Structure 1
Amino acid sequence: MSETPSYQTPPNPSLSEREARQLLDALRRQEGTWLDRGRAIWRLQKGGYDPKAIFDETGITTSQQNQLAVASQVYDTSLATQATEQLRSHYAQTGSDILYELRVLSNDERIAVAEFSYQRQLSIADVREVTKAVKDFSRLAEIPEGFTEHPGDAVAYAYWKRARDYSDLQSRTRLIASGLRYAHSETARQKLEHLLSDLAAVPQSKAPTAPTYRVETEIELPRIVPVVGTFPLTPKDLENTPTLGSEDPFQVAKIAKSGEFVPLPGWPVIRQAEDPVAIHATARTDASAMSVDALLVSPAEENEVKNSEPVLVIIDRAIRTFEAFRYFLVEKEGQLQLTWFDADPQVPLWAEVLLILKPKRIFDEEAMEVSWQYEE
């Protein structure tokens, strides 16, 4: 074992190394109750000790540390100040898994669910169900008729809602029986029992499933980049183009003034750029054109080159330091042009070229214009 555990953050000066060693030794020997161990873990983590270092010293896994530390905070912030002596005494000895589940509730809700769990001797699965029902119940604009804020009635209401959507006796009876198991008030029991004789009631329509989608890759998050214009351009054109920032997690961009903007795929080179902008250009479609000079068509040549396509030149204005075998934007006779240098040039560099973006290729453009006819 190491003499001094590693730190994740700078240690809290309120926790000396001697105190930390005492806490670690007590945890390793599993001294005290779960509450003592949870408080010790909480102090160590707040003191900057990494959970992995605590595991190396004590053998308590990071998931166990999380449960004990969070549960101890639920106890200290809720039960310790508001619960009865009997409830405090019970949960100080056992029930860290139950108190951990109550972390999402308010203080009053925690006390109520902890009391309900203690009285009914609920399993951890039952506590999860009660916690979810209480959380959902708290979001309602008003308390439904016939039910109360008691945790048992919150679960009964959840089953009552579900039972109304079933017209067959077997399914409805099963849900009503589950609701009656939890119901606290007599009026809640009556609401559930009434459903047995109300099979003719029209089931309420369920709300449609929310059309959610989670972004899985950075490429699915485009970056919006301002467009400077089309060659020929001057340094003033480049300077007058605004910098466009974006905010996580959805890359929302705030556009302060009008202009041209283009969404680019979230490739690493685009996402890592500090101040990217785009420039309209024309490029030859000849595959042998490898260098920028051979690839791009100057404005004077556009009418002469037949096999060409529009492209976007993406540059980063923040990069103005020379690097070999990179293309840069430089000024020549008052206009900007792209070039490269094999040695550090003695001219100002305005930006580095990140990439040249070609449009999506359509293999049969004529077929796209033909109206298809289908036989019945």
Structure 2
Amino acid sequence: MLSLSHPPKPPSFFPNHQNPRLTTENRSRLRRQQQQQQQQQRRLVVSVSAAKLPFSPPPSSPPGEVYQPFRPPPSSPLPARFRSLSVTERLDVLRLRLGLWHEYAPLISALSRDGFTPASIEDATGIPGAEQNRLIVAAQVRDSLLASAAAFPADLLAFFDAGGGAEVLYELRLLSAAQRAAAAARVAERRLDPRGARDLARSVKDFPRRRADDGWRAFSPDSPADCLAFALFRQSREALDPADRLAALSRALDTADTDSARTRIAEEIERATRRGDDSKEEEEEAEAERRAAVPVLRLRYGEVAEAAAVVLLPAVRAAEGAAGVAAAPARLRAQGELGVVAAEAAWGRWAVLPGWAPVMEASETAVAVEMEDGRALPWRSMAAAEEAVLVVAERGRRKVEQEGGAYVVDREGRLVVERGKRLMETGVAEALATVVLVVRPPREDDDQLSEEDWD
């Protein structure tokens, strides 16, 4: 029996092809799924990154109290009678200056930790910001005196309890603990004012930097009085008027504490007195004799590389003394067709200089002495302060013959340069070497010294 039915649909040539309506719905559904997946990935990345961060649980606080961050304790603790005061009462103490200055000074730090600014404290108490800082620093200096290994004498400490004690102690703030105690004792013994304390503190701070200055070794770094005397000793040399120079030396003599310092100052006073009695012509003649006929040159960048000839000299540090000069090789010889330089003895340090005529003439017995500070050399100009120099000296000429010459001698195991006139006055007839040339390091502004700058 035959039945009528619809014939089956032929297979589509594009089996995945759908009608446009279904395709639009699928695309919307697919887009939403992609957005959900992206959001899940972002949450996963954030959670993983947060897991890698260091985590510290919040500090626990008693119930009913708000957590407050840690604040360091004050450097100067409040006196017992001020600890229970309210903020208003503390402001009244500062406004009325109740008590000694070092007792109410810590109140300023306490108010600052409570949120007060220097301006607001000044409005409430009338104490300017600069004075607030001075009181705080002076109180810290006073506490350091009490905390020192050797207890500061109570009778001397009472000197700083007066109204001007804060200004005086404030000037000692830059010194170390040991220097501060010695300087404070000197201030209290001599009843110095803030300006005197400032001069004393500056001289103590500056004294170690003047190691290369003439006469430094005669003064003691452990004595604040000697440090101040040395500062006056240096100032006397800057005075143009002989009367001013003698006045500064007289103050230095009264200030000095050690016998060696007094002896050195007395010698300088005698020399200044004798010089003041000389006539103008004699002074000019003495000045001409003090000038050493030694050239002082500054290297230029690339000068050694561009030189047609160079000189190789054994280098000796000033701290090595006479033994270093004696041990340095004396002769260098060029061997073979290539001119290989050979020394008569092994040596570890060498200086290479351009083939200047004075150096070439003395090269067979010359040595280069390394001076860490050019101020140790006897020249008047201080432009070369705190720079290293090379002193080229000829060991073949050791006899002190010229008053205007310069010579390398050994002083307490250290090499120094002295004028010939001074060596003759002290009876020294032979030195380690005669200075031929002084070489300064290169720098941008070339201000070479002339022979007149040599003292």
- TM-score under structure 2 normalisation? 0.40
Q: Bigger relative contact order, structure 1 or 2, given CA contacts below 8 A and separation 6+?
A: 2
Using the size of structure 1 for normalisation, the TM-score is: 0.47
Q: Of the two, which has the highest radius of gyration?
A: 2
